Chain A
Amino acid sequence: EAGVAQSPRYKIIEKRQSVAFWCNPISGHATLYWYQQILGQGPKLLIQFQNNGVVDDSQLPKDRFSAERLKGVDSTLKIQPAKLEDSAVYLCASSLSGGFLQPQHFGDGTRLSIL
């Protein structure tokens, strides 16, 4: 079974620039999550999709972050404009269904550095 795919693996941009990340979940997984992991901290949920609908985006900084999951499969996360504090690893995860009894499986992440 193929795992969660993410790209790019690394990205370096200057502050105020924009950046986008892509995620393809495990086949058949209805729920997709984007997390932000700052060095030395646990992952923090940014947004959760159930199929192509948003379930929870309460911790997404909506003035600069946006995400979409068209057709209920792939997803993109965008940051515009980036700030220095956005330097982190952005992790995509998926699970069979919503609710938190199902374990989540993570992709390799995108390491973002803001100069």
Chain B
Amino acid sequence: QKEVEQNSGPLSVPEGAIASLNCTYSDRGSQSFFWYRQYSGKSPELIMSIYSNGDKEDGRFTAQLNKASQYVSLLIRDSQPSDSATYLCAVGGNKLVFGAGTILRVKS
């Protein structure tokens, strides 16, 4: 079992729709959870961090964490073509582990 699992996609959504990206993790002791966006040929860019159960909203982005289910998700509202990228989930316990990422394509 991989430590951090993401569906590789691609996830295709129409412009203006909600994109939902999911991530599961295996280490129950994990304490910090991050979402990074990575454009092709670029480095990962931090977009959200979440540390406690529930939802955290920042603009069009909402991160959701459920530690009991070992599940973290990222919702992108009003998706734009510029949101097309790979989204990496990273989970921090005694080390930071990245998933392989989900490719998101927003169609105009």
Contact = CB atoms under 8 A, between A and B. Distances in A.
Interface of A: 40-45, 56, 91, 99-101, 103-109
Interface stretch (B44-52, B53-61, B62-70, B76-84): B44-52
Contacts of B34: 103-104
B100 interface: yes
Contacts of B32: 100-101
A44 B99 CA distance: 9
B65 to A, nearest CB: 14
A109 B38 CA distance: 12
Contacts of A45: 95-96
Contacts of A100: 31-32, 92-96
A56 B96 CA distance: 11
Question: Nearest 8 pairs between A and B by C-beta?
Answer: A100-B92, A42-B98, A106-B43, A100-B96, A42-B100, A101-B32, A109-B43, A103-B46
Interface residues of B, number: 24
Contacts of A105: 46
A96 B9 CA distance: 33
Contacts of A99: 92
Interface string B15-51: 0000000000000000110101000001111100101
B88 interface: yes
A104 B88 CA distance: 13
Nearest to A105: B46
